[in-house]
Amino acid sequence: MKFYDLAASPNTRRVRILMAEKGLEIPTVQIDMMKGENKTPDYLAKNSLGVMPVLELDDGTCITESAAICRYLDEIHPEPPLFGRDPVERAKVEMWHRRMELEILIPVIQIFVHSNDMWKGRRPQVPAYADIMRTQVTERFDWLDKELEGRDYIATDGYTIADITAQCGVLMAKAAAGIRAQPEQKNLTAWWERVSARPTARA
pLDDT tens figures, 114-160: 998 888 878 889 999 999 999 999 999 999 999 999 999 999 999 99
Burial of 28 (0-12, 13-18, 19+ CB in 10 A): middle
Q: Give the mean model confidence (pLDDT) for residues 86-103.
A: 98
Q: Give the mean model confidence (pLDDT) for residues 3-18.
A: 96
Residue of 178, 173, 159, 199 whose CA lies nearest to 191? 159
| pLDDT at residue 58 is higher than 90 | yes
pLDDT tens figures, 161-193: 999 999 999 999 998 889 999 999 999 999 999
The residue type found at 21 is E
What was the pLDDT predicted at 121?
78
Instruction: Go through the domains of the chain in sequence order and give each one's CATH number.
Output: 2-76 (3.40.30.10), 87-202 (1.20.1050.10)
DSSP code for 30: E
What was the pLDDT predicted at 176?
85
Task: Map residue 77 onto helix, strand or coil.
Answer: coil
Phi, psi values for residue 166, rounded to 5°: -65, -40
